Amino acid sequence: MTYSVAVSGASGYAGGEILRLLANHPDVEIRTVTAHSSAGDPLVAHQPHLRSLRDLTIRPTTPETLSGHDIVFLALPHGQSGQYTDALGDAALVIDAGADHRLTDAADWAAFYGGEHHEPWAYGVPELLTPEGKQREHLRGATRIAAPGCNASTVSLSLAPGVAAGVIDAGDIVSVLAVGPSGAGKALKPHLLGAELLGSANPYAVGGTHRHIPEIQQALRSAGAADPRISFTPVIVPMSRGILATSTAPIAEGATDAQIRDAWQSAYGDEHFVQLLPEGQMPRTADVIGANTALIGLAIDRPANRVTVVTALDNLAKGTAGAAIQSMNIALGLDETTALTTNGVAP
């Protein structure tokens, strides 16, 4: 069976990455691409690297345009996709790459986003630990999926094994992330100009204000944390893609070094796209660019009594679009790895 697909937000970074990955998917036909201000333009005028899709023209993003497809991807700014989801009842599968359907708590939505809180959907991080095992079990047969925030999934995947195994204290987490500016979207903003970025590292959303914090806490509660608390500091650095997240947490009383490492090895030893590196090795963002891979390095800092987890992934691939398509594959009963690669692009 071939599934017809519509992708909204096709002129943006997330929409473009969804299209790049779907273009190599043998079970889908990209039939419609939509956007707002760029409607009427050829897709390649905004995504010139997508040469196999050069015959597509961007159409206006309306419920009428999106309806009638088997699968709809919404790659819209936060707060905008909810207005379309109620009108897409005829779509067998809708996947939202924005935040509108990620949070289960309306109070968290009000505090960090504001506006109407929409129904939470199945969370699109298949490898995330849950009381039932892994989140992929909730994705099988799902018809509505919320793709994750890239920073949130990076930190959640970093720490969930330690939380679930009880070898770290989730009440004192510190995460500092080096993040490529593509995570902020394609809209023209002065602080994202090359002249402002090159040669500089710029912290943002400091002091508990970043919108991905409640998403991380929600994921860690799902892994077993009673009251996760996190100091979260993202820093924009001059690389177009990638996240390098360094997260630390206190070692739980009595946890041995072997138990700590076994927690991550047990969680990810059989996973295809989340890989724990050998002891003593740390990941680089350069090794995951273009891949649906998260690489994790683990260090046990006994003098500080903390576990340090360093995770690298491509924010547009595994962080957003790759996670969305991996979740789509699971929901449809396809091979989970279809159209996704573990191999990065180098140099």
Predicted confidence at residue 188, as pLDDT, reads 75
CB of 161 within 8 A of CB of 225?
A: no
Predicted confidence at residue 87, as pLDDT, reads 79
Contacts with 82 (C-beta within 8 Å, 6 or more apart), sequence order: 100, 101, 116, 118
Asked whether the predicted pLDDT for residue 160 surpasses 90, the reply is yes
Predicted confidence at residue 183, as pLDDT, reads 86
> Residue range 182-207: average pLDDT?
88
CB of 275 within 8 A of CB of 295?
A: yes
Predicted confidence at residue 277, as pLDDT, reads 98
Predicted confidence at residue 303, as pLDDT, reads 98
Q: Which of 38-52, 192-206, 231-245, 291-305 has the lowest mean pLDDT?
A: 192-206
Q: Can you tell me the distance from the alpha carbon of 79 to that of 139, in angstroms, rounded to the nearest whole number?
A: 23
Residue 196 burial by Cβ neighbours in a 10 Å radius (0-12, 13-18, 19+): middle
- 244, β-bridge pairs: 178, 312
Query: What's the pTM value of the predicted model, to 2 decimals?
Result: 0.96
User: Does domain 3-148+318-332 bear CATH number 3.40.50.720?
Assistant: yes
DSSP letter for each residue of 148-169: PPHHHHHHHHHHHHHHHHT-B-
CB of 250 within 8 A of CB of 168?
A: yes
Predicted confidence at residue 152, as pLDDT, reads 98
Stretch(es) of the chain classified as CATH 3.40.50.720: 3-148+318-332
Which of the residues 28, 146, 150, 307 is marked catalytic?
150
Stretch(es) of the chain classified as CATH 3.30.360.10: 151-315
What is the per-residue pLDDT across 97-154, written as a single tens digit (0 to 9) for each?
999 999 999 999 999 999 999 999 999 999 999 998 999 999 999 999 999 999 999 9
What is the per-residue pLDDT across 4-15, written as a single tens digit (0 to 9) for each?
999 999 999 999
Predicted confidence at residue 234, as pLDDT, reads 97
Contacts with 292 (C-beta within 8 Å, 6 or more apart), sequence order: 273, 314, 317, 318, 322, 323, 325, 326, 340, 341, 342
CB of 255 within 8 A of CB of 161?
A: no
Q: What's the full length of the chain, in residues?
A: 347
Sort strands 129-130 and 133-134 into parallel, antiparallel or unpaired.
Answer: antiparallel
Q: Checking phi first, is residue 243 left (phi over 0); if not, alpha (psi -120 to 50) or beta?
A: beta
Predicted confidence at residue 38, as pLDDT, reads 93
Q: Is 150 a catalytic residue?
A: yes
DSSP letter for each residue of 164-197: HHT-B-TTSEEEEEEE-GGGG-SS--GGGSHHHH
CB of 321 within 8 A of CB of 340?
A: no
Using alpha carbons only, what angle is made at residue 20 by residues 18 and 24, rounded to the nearest 5 degrees? 110
Which of the following CATH numbers is that of domain 151-315: 3.30.70.890, 3.30.360.10, 3.55.40.20, 3.40.50.300? 3.30.360.10
Average pLDDT, the chain: 95
Better pLDDT: 270 or 84: 270
Q: Can you tell me the distance from the alpha carbon of 158 to that of 51, in angstroms, rounded to the nearest whole number?
A: 35
Predicted confidence at residue 201, as pLDDT, reads 95
CB of 73 within 8 A of CB of 18?
A: yes
CB of 248 within 8 A of CB of 162?
A: no
